[in-house]
Amino acid sequence: MGVETLRKSLYKAKETPSLCTVPSVPYFIIDGEGNSNEEEYSLATELLFSLHDLLCERTGAMEPPLLECVWTAREVENREPWSWSAMIAEPEDITDSLFTEVRDELAFKEGIPTLDIYRSSIEDGLCVTLLHTGPFSFEGKSFQMMETYCKEHHLVRLGRSHREIYLDHPKRKSKDDLKTILRLPVQQL
């Protein structure tokens, strides 16, 4: 299933919590620690977009990239510090050899190491999802709505991670208008 087909079914959400089942999706991924305002995260996301663009050039794919990030609170009590896995879904028909070749080309062009970028398929499975509109700093309210939904529907959250899918670029849109899909992996009680 191509990324564009997946987007039509999975990269939509309502402004109220609902359930969705997310199948295995192949991604380009970079892992790190800290928050989204730090240079490490910014560089990682720039690398992912550059890699995606180069691969699309090479293959003729026309799939616009959406940045996603799985955030994990390393300490439950204070929700800090965070570890993260920033990712972009792969365009169709990417082979290991093409990925390695283009990743190495990107390193040469940019003059920066790219070996931290890797490929992996991730299956989120059953999730509670919600479309959050507004600044990232206001996501707490949306997560509270999702937690309430879980209680009302006899669901329990799996682990300490959540996924954010950024439908808008924060530098190109007002903070109040940013749209982000939030997902929590869950299971029935």
Q: Is the per-residue pLDDT at 7 higher than 90?
A: no
**Bridge partners of 31?**
85
The dihedral over CA atoms of 131, 158, 119, 13, expressed in degrees to the nearest 10, equals: -20
Interval 147-173: pLDDT, tens:
999 999 999 999 889 999 999 876 677
- Dist CA 139 CA 183 (whole Å): 12
| Rounded-to-integer distance, Cα 122 and Cα 149, Å | 24
Confidence of residue 10 (pLDDT cuts 50, 70, 90): confident
Domains of the chain: 3-188 (3.20.80.10)
Is it the case that residue 24 has pLDDT exceeding 60?
Answer: yes
Nearest-CA neighbor of 69 among 170, 164, 167, 178? 164
The whole-number pLDDT of residue 5 equals: 61
**In the predicted model, what is the mean pLDDT of residues 135-148?**
91
Q: Which of 25-29, 38-42, 89-93 has the highest mean pLDDT?
A: 25-29
Whether residue 113 has a cis bond before it, omega within 30° of 0: no
- Confidence at 19, pLDDT banded by 50, 70, 90: very high
With 0-12 / 13-18 / 19 or more C-beta atoms within 10 angstroms meaning exposed / middle / buried, residue 78 is exposed
Number of H helices, E strands in the chain: 4, 7
Pair 94, 59: CB distance under 8 Å: yes
Task: Specify the higher pLDDT residue, 128 or 81.
Answer: 128
C-alpha distance from residue 125 to each of 20, 92, 187 (Å):
8, 21, 9
Of 179 and 36, the one with more pLDDT: 179
Q: What's the one-letter identity of residue 19?
A: L
Q: Which of 4-18, 93-107, 172-186 shows the lowest mean pLDDT across its residues? A: 4-18
Residue 122's pLDDT is: 95
Mean pLDDT calculated for residue range 21-36: 92
Residue 80 confidence (pLDDT) above 90 = no
**41-47 average pLDDT score:** 92
Q: What angle do CA 57, 62, 66 make, to 5 degrees?
A: 100
